[in-house]
Amino acid sequence: MRPIRNDPSLAVVRTDALFVSAVQRSDKPRAVQVREAVAAAVRRFGPQGCAERVAEEFGDHPDIAAARMRWARWQVAHVFGEPCMRAPAGRHTGGRAA
């Protein structure tokens, strides 16, 4: 099996998918749960559908959506090793050591 290349567009799809998934920050998900949630959201909504749902949430609840997006970006960087999406220094990252 060939490894999937980690490029920015793939990172965006993964982040959007996690954002729209049912997984919550308070669940303190493990890597396998994040991967499963991303795969399920992409299967259910497709990349475009995930992006549309993200946009809708930012339109309806921008303050809450921004916090969830930061969390989703950090999870994707942590779980998938996305070098372009590291958590900002000094930020709380969901209860895990970086």
Count of structural domains, the chain: 1
DSSP string, 2-45: PPPP--HHHHHHHHHHHHHSS--GGG---HHHHHHHHHHHHHHH
Residue 64 lies in a domain: yes
Residue 92 lies in a domain: no
Burial class of residue 6 in the structure, from the number of CB atoms within 10 Å of its CB (0-12 exposed, 13-18 middle, 19+ buried): middle
Closest CA to 23 of 93, 75, 80: 75
What pLDDT tens digit does each residue of the chain (98 aa) get? Answer: 455 555 558 999 999 999 999 999 999 999 999 999 999 999 999 999 999 999 999 999 999 999 999 999 999 999 998 665 544 444 444 443 33
CA pair distance 56, 53, nearest whole angstrom: 5
Residue 95 lies in a domain: no
**Residue 50 belongs to what domain range?**
8-22+29-80
Query: Tokens 């099996």 correspond to what residue?
Result: 1
Residue 97 lies in a domain: no
Residue 15 lies in a domain: yes
Residue 42 lies in a domain: yes
Residue 39 lies in a domain: yes
